[in-house]
Structure 1
Amino acid sequence: MPRFSPFETDVETCSFFQEMFHGKLALIGEWTTMRFVFYSKCNLTQEQGNQVQVLMNPIFGTQMHFWPTKDSYFLTEEFSKGISVLRESGLIFYWQNVELDYKISGTGIEKTNVKFKTMSINKLILPLTLLFMGITAAFLVFLSELRRRKSPEH
């Protein structure tokens, strides 16, 4: 397998991606980044806009998980070696932080349109505080009732 770098030719990149995508390996996470680069480098620009919107969605994160389908189980080891070469050379990082930002800036789509991670904490503070206060009040009522029942007057 050739050594990948940000300066290598598009032909080598395209041939590597074609093996992955046509080998029917299912990917999550960096799959969207690689798919975007595949379309932008290999003259398949008709789906480029959709891929940019998917890539800006932070719910995908930067981790990669993959699993083979029935037809491509034998490719798993070769594929994982290829991904580690891409990651070690910094090419995935380069695509995400240099090329991708450049492509997105040309589409007019703002990166801040979709925010899943910040919403989860900021918008749950008030409901969680109210829940905690309710549980505390219920516990105090329970203790007072328990103490009242144990008193010798009853």
Structure 2
Amino acid sequence: MLPSHDAPSLAFRGGSFAARLQDAFHFPALNTSVAEARQRVLARLREWGIDEVACDDAQLVVSELVTNAVRHTDSDKVSCQLRVGGAALRIEVADRGHAPTQPVARCSGTDEESGRGLLLVGALSQAWGVRPDDDGRGRVVWADVPHRRLAR
């Protein structure tokens, strides 16, 4: 696992310090990176005190988004960013490749083994979408997953 370039930090807001819970990490665009991304997300969310339902949902969302980035683009690297804000966890997965189409949720036939990932993302998140990455070479697929912070 590669080290985070943006570990949790403290930010000054409105006269008091508030914890900014965010993390970003990168993996090679390989099938094995999907499991690594899930493990990294689970470890970070547990460290932050996020409830188990949200941890499970976030792992599934990350798994689907990283899988799509690996399978459907010519990217050599996949990036993931987590940010806690209010009652939502923002998950962003960025690829550096080019895919022939935009990601869209679709209904797959009962005999198809794939094609339901974005339907799952939509069901588990408050909202999701797609935007170009910052340098225009790839794209970012994001999802906002509801969560609760556990009392510590």
Q: TM-score range by the shorter chain?
A: under 0.3
TM-score (norm 1): 0.25
Structure with greater proportional helix content = 1
TM-score (norm 2): 0.25
- Structure with larger Rg: 1
Structure with greater proportional strand content = 2
